[in-house]
Amino acid sequence: MILGVESAALIALAGVAGILVTATVLIALLRRRLPEATHTELVQRVRSWWVMAAVFTVAIVVNEVVSLVFFALVSFLALKEYFSLIPTRRVDRSVIFLAYLTIPAQYAIIGLEWYGIFIIFIPVYVFLLLPFRMVLGGETNHFLRAVGTTQWGLMAMVFGISHVAYLLVLPGELNPGAGGPGLVLFLVFLTQFNDVGQYVWGKTLGRHKVVPQVSPGKTVEGLIGGVVTTLVLAWVLGPWLTPMSHLESLGAGLLIGIGGFAGDVTISALKRDLGVKDTGSLLPGHGGMLDRVDSLIYTAPLFFHYLYFLHYSPTALGLL
Amino acid sequence: MNRVLRWVFFTVIVRTVILLVLGLNVRNRERLPTEGPAVLAANHNSHLDTMVLMSLMGTRRGRVRPVAAADYFLRNRFMTWFSLQIIGVLPIERQRSEDGGDPLAACGEALERGEILIFFPEGSRGEPEQLAQFRGGVAKLAARHPDVPVVPIYTHGLGKALPKGQALLVPFFADVFVGEGLRGSDVDGDFLEALRERFEGLRKEGVFADWD
């Protein structure tokens, strides 16, 4: 245990660094065999992965406050990209400002470990209050569109992503080997590896398109290859990084594999609707923050509640 | 003292707001002039416009002078100090003064000193996120200094973040598209028309969300 982080989580982080070293070397070796543009894009992507992995490591290793601030920042950047892309109304400027304020509120609730409030703050209270605040603005034109898009953005970028942060404050003694960072690593690593897996399997074996109108690059072969890879990884990593058994880990792998795909194509549909290719330019080779966390929006709540039900809920702990 | 305050203002406050609260997507940054004399001509939606352009100029900031209306920016002692000492504006009279003075004379002198002017051809900020009629000042400058490049810069989103008449800054990403410099000597016909065409071209490069 170093800096309060269990050794399993540290070994897993070292493993991530190992994978990035391998990817960097592999791409350097493939230089002559790939078209110039593809090679440049891969180099950019891997470089961005290095930066993301480094920032992520610092964020989850130092302490809980740093971790919460980090995930709050991820929510903020994703929400800002979203609000900048969608049509908004001038009259809603102050409503949008309030919507941003749900981020510090939600992450403070996580810091206080108020599970009951964490789970209802945005889906219940914000859901009821923001439209009312909008009514006070007095403009009914495009009212429903404004209510719907604002709440959807908050559910995805704030409520959804904040589930990653809640993993960090779940009781550590229930996951003695790897603690909260182990849970976050399992979720984030599998989600991101699933993305890469679907991309690589799709590029090498892809034939049949899944949703050609939304995301022409996505194929059945990529999806299945990605899910199978994620299942294998979940089986291996689950019992080591989380309190789940091998079998339970397979369930988590399936949720992450399919949920990740769903999140990815959902954001693709949104971008297509808005007529943009990327949601931003924050991460060279990847696009914006929202392009990177699209799968996590789905996998984080799915994985969290699956794990919570099995190992952390009052029922699971035999308190009820 | 003022130099220290100016440095703190731009490197701490302005940079934090622009990088963290707003976030910029800059296209063709390399087209920004590296040395004066030059004119940065931008559309004007928000007080943030000047801050963003100053910030993009980085260490060249010392030579950058935003051209601003004296009646607004020098309206009291505090604003005068802040505008002149911290921002470094070049104040001009919006109306030709009664004794027939030339409102653009100061701009010409600044260009001769090799400074970089920030000029808003629309005049005031106007309706957020809409391109208003260009005024003639920039064309006069280009005619008087035919070798000075006028660099068109189209920004979008800053008027959503901080429109005219509002004090609440709401985070939105902003686009900044830098066009190719246009010199008075390059244009045979109407300079304003040519500049406006560049702006329309830049605007068409982006996909912007509705804001009604």
Strands B38-42 and B116-119: what pairing? parallel
Dihedral sign (CA A263, A268, A273, A278)? positive
Distance from CA of B89 to the nearest CA of A (A): 29
Residue B209 lies in a domain: no
Residue B212 lies in a domain: no
Among A86, A141, A142, beta carbon nearest to B209:
A86
In sequence order, the β-bridge partners of residue B154 are: B177
pLDDT of residue B99: 62
CB contact under 8 A, A84 and B172: yes
Q: Please list every residue in chain B whose beta carbon sits closer than 8 Å to the beta carbon of residue A83.
A: 171-172
Residue B211 lies in a domain: no
Q: Which residues contact A205 (CB under 8 A, 6 or more apart)?
A: A219, A221, A222, A225
Six-digit token string for A206: 């892809």
Residue B118 lies in a domain: yes
Residues of chain A whose beta carbon is less than 8 angstroms from a beta carbon of chain B are 76-77, 80-81, 83-90, 93-94, 96-97, 100, 141-142, 274-276, 280-282
pLDDT of residue A3: 62
Determine which of B29, B173, B204, B208 to mutate to test the interface with A (most A C-beta atoms within 10 Å): B173
**Exposed/middle/buried for residue A36 (C-beta within 10 Å: 0-12, 13-18, 19+):** exposed
Question: Structurally, how many domains does chain B consist of?
Answer: 1
CB contact under 8 A, B209 and A275: no
Whose structure tokens read 């939600």?
A106
Which residues in chain B (110-169) have CB-CB distances under 8 A to chain A? 128, 157, 160, 163, 166, 168
CB atoms within 10 A of CB A111: 17
What's the ipTM?
0.88
What whole-number distance in Å separates Cα of residue B12 and Cα of residue B26? 20
pLDDT of residue A269: 94
Six-digit token string for B131: 């391109």
Whose structure tokens read 């601030």?
A69
pLDDT of residue A311: 95
In sequence order, the β-bridge partners of residue B27 are: B177
SS3 B63: helix
CB contact under 8 A, A88 and B209: yes
pLDDT band at B56 (very low <50, low <70, confident <90, very high): very high
CB contact under 8 A, B170 and A275: no
pLDDT tens, per residue, chain A with 320 residues? 566 667 788 888 889 999 999 999 998 888 888 888 888 888 888 888 898 899 888 888 888 899 999 999 999 999 999 999 999 999 999 999 999 999 999 999 999 999 999 999 999 999 999 999 999 999 999 999 999 999 999 999 999 999 999 999 999 889 888 888 999 999 999 999 999 999 989 888 888 898 888 888 889 999 999 999 999 999 999 999 999 999 999 999 999 999 999 999 999 999 999 988 888 777 777 788 998 899 999 999 999 999 999 999 998 888 87
**Exposed/middle/buried for residue A90 (C-beta within 10 Å: 0-12, 13-18, 19+):** middle
Residue B101 lies in a domain: yes
pLDDT of residue A4: 62
pLDDT of residue B113: 93
pLDDT of residue A256: 97
pLDDT of residue B123: 80
Q: What is the CA radius of gyration of chain A?
A: 20
What whole-number distance in Å separates Cα of residue A242 and Cα of residue B33? 55
pLDDT of residue B165: 86
pLDDT band at B65 (very low <50, low <70, confident <90, very high): very high
pLDDT of residue B125: 78
Six-digit token string for B91: 């104040």
Strands B64-69 and B116-119: what pairing? parallel
Distance from CA of B194 to the nearest CA of A (A): 29
Domain that holds residue B45: 2-204
Residue B138 lies in a domain: yes
What whole-number distance in Å separates Cα of residue A121 and Cα of residue A71? 17
Strands B24-27 and B174-178: what pairing? parallel
CB contact under 8 A, A87 and B211: yes
- If you ran DSSP here, which 8-state letter would residue A159 be given? I
Residue B208 in contact with partner chain A when CB distance is under 8 A:
no
End-to-end CA distance of chain A: 33
Residue of A nearest to B163 (CA): A90
CB contact under 8 A, A83 and B212: no
CATH code of the domain in which B103 resides: 3.40.1130.10
Per-residue pLDDT averaged across B120-127, rounded?
81
Query: Residue B100 pLDDT more than 70?
Result: no
Q: What is the CA radius of gyration of chain B?
A: 16
Residue B43 lies in a domain: yes
pLDDT band at B96 (very low <50, low <70, confident <90, very high): low
Alpha helices by DSSP H, listed for chain A, are 7-29, 36-61, 64-85, 93-111, 115-118, 127-136, 143-153, 161-169, 179-205, 220-241, 246-274, 289-307
Q: Please list every residue in chain B whose beta carbon sits closer than 8 Å to the beta carbon of residue A85.
A: 209
Phi and psi (nearest 5°) for B180?
A: -80, 140
Distance from CA of A78 to the nearest CA of B (A): 11
Residue B44 lies in a domain: yes
pLDDT band at B111 (very low <50, low <70, confident <90, very high): very high
Per-residue pLDDT averaged across B38-61, rounded?
91
